[in-house]
Structure 1
Amino acid sequence: MWTDLNRPPLDVSALRRALVRHPGGDPKAFWSRLDVVTETGSTNADLLARAKEPDYARSVLIAEYQTGGRGRHARTWVSAPRALVTLSAVLDMPGIDLTDLGWLPLLSGIAVVDALNDVAGVETELKWPNDVLIEDRKVAGILTEVASTEPVPTVVVGIGLNVTLTREELPVPTATSLALENAGVTDRTVLVRAMLRALAERWRQWQSADWKVDELAAAYRERCGTLGRLVRAELPGDRELVGIATDVDRQGRVVIKPKSESPVAVSAGDVTHLRVV
């Protein structure tokens, strides 16, 4: 039972009508199944455990309350009930080269940024690789995990979006929420619909014979607020790299130019935007 009128539950029926394939439904519907649970530990973990179920590919799981969400590098976080969008979606990638799977987190970030900019009326940008920021404050994060590579590469995309969190509820001071940024829309049903449609559209583009990595890289660069910034990259092995982020290359790596040194392409690591003083 929910009692907070400012945080109503998701309209599951409306989401299924708009997004899930069914006879007589929208011919453009992309997703095979959409479920909403009241509470779970991690939607990503739940979907990874369902890999052999029917309708697994293109299935979606959303939690109204997530107690053990996982971010990059296995960091955990807890969501407030019905104050966030916490969803995971399964994407099958027929015909993709496994070496290109690293682009999927970046593609997902493009979809989330476009959906929020179009529907919520906020100006968001990406911090490499796939944190979504509003004026350098994190409003959403994305975690992708490979579910299987055979017979078809299949990936779980997890999205966590802060919607109505108050300042006191933020996990860290550098985070924010749509409500705190005076977004035009904080209806989670509308936001879920927009993000899943944008993710499906980007999937279709990637699968298109006309879609090229160069186009994807260009679309990512347009939305990436890391480029041109002084950054610090914390690399595996307790190494650190400080310099100007100059590019995102065709492999999806961020290229950092340290002072008086050659550029370095970084494929994994935490990146922090630094202020020039």
Structure 2
Amino acid sequence: ARGQGWMLTPVVQIVEEAIVLAVAEPAPNAFVQPTFTTTGTVASKDPLASLTVNGMAATVDGLDWSAQITLAEGPGILTAKAIDTLGRSAVVEFGLTADGTPPLVAILFPEMDELVTSSEVEVEAILFDAVSAVDPGSVQALWDGTDRTDELTVTADAVTGILTAEDGVHTLDILASDLAGNLASASSTFWVYTTTVEAVALIGPEGGRVEVTDPDSPLAGAFVHFPDGAFVEDTVVSVAIAAGVDPAAGPPPGAGVSPAAKIETSSD
């Protein structure tokens, strides 16, 4: 009424989003396996008519949803779409990279069946992944089954360093995963032999030869040949100077090896 001082307040209608759709896993631009499970949440004012991921129906349980999808190797797109019974929709879309190929792991040192004559063993391995990259945090260096990764330098490209070892047969395993979780490994079994001798060699069942090549050795030029089948397994053969024998003494009549040469063998 006139003179009563009425104040007209505008009516504000708060229109909330009809559908709130979110993807929890994987994250945008992540590296994934070609076939993986994606999860998320959805809230809708009205009942949902459908929720799909890359065209495949998702399983909805309350506010949570999940779906298993497959992407081709390489860059791809994840598209999650929810539609309610009134035809309103919400879409979440982002890029991913599918990687189903394990990385390359190769041990350069010590080589398989190598004979290492030092207690300090050089370790070098290369790591490579063509699609994603090697995850340095996944790399393990197992020495005879014991984790010695912390003693080495690890990057996304290589494992390097020095490990100390006792004489005997040892196995080094390098394990690594890429950013998509693909696991690869490499293994090398070798000998460590640090006893001071004139010559040493690793002789396998196929036979071989151990020879003193040091020109300053009293036994320079001496060698021992082992034919095929002489050993049934890899065997370390060493030639040393026998105690109490004149190294300059030649072989006695009818003997083919100098008495100054002491030949020893050891196998695993």
Relative to the length of structure 2, the TM-score reads 0.22
Higher relative contact order (CA 8 A, sep 6+): 1
- Highest CA radius of gyration, 1 or 2? 2
Larger helix share, 1 or 2: 1
Relative to the length of structure 1, the TM-score reads 0.21
Larger strand share, 1 or 2: 2
